[in-house]
Amino acid sequence: MTAETLALFPDSARIDDTGSLVVGGCNVRRTADQFGTPLYLYDGETLDRAVEAYRTALSRCYPGAAQIAYAAKAWLCSASARWIAAKGIGLDVVSGGELAIALHGGVPADHIHFHGNNKSDRELAQALDAGVGRIVVDHPDELARLDELAIACGRRQAIWLRVNPDVDTDTHHHTQTGHAASKFGLSLRDGTAEAVALDALRRAGVELAGLHCHIGSQLRDAEPLAVAAQRLLDLAARLRDATGWQPAELSTGGGWAVAYTAEQLADLPPVETYVARVSEAVVQRCRQHGLALPRLVLEPGRSLVARAGVAVYTVGAVKPAGDVTYAFVDGGLADNPRHALYGATYTALLANRRGDAARQRVHVAGPYCETGDVLIEDIELPPLVPGDLLAVPVSGAYQLSMASNYNAALRPAVVWLEDGQATLVQRRETLDDLLRRDLV
The alpha carbon of residue 328 and the mean position of all alpha carbons in its chain are separated, in whole angstroms, by 28
- 61 catalytic residue (yes or no): no
Q: What is the sign, positive or negative, of the torsion defined by CA atoms of 347, 351, 357, 362? A: negative
351, 39 in Cβ contact below 8 A? no
CA-based radius of gyration for the chain: 23
Backbone angles phi, psi at 73, to 5 degrees: -60, -20
Which residues are registered as beta bridge partners of 163?
Answer: 186
Q: Which of 153, 213, 286, 369 is catalytic?
A: 369
Q: State which amino acid sits at residue 234.
A: D
309-321/39-43 β-pairing: antiparallel
Catalytic residue numbers read 369
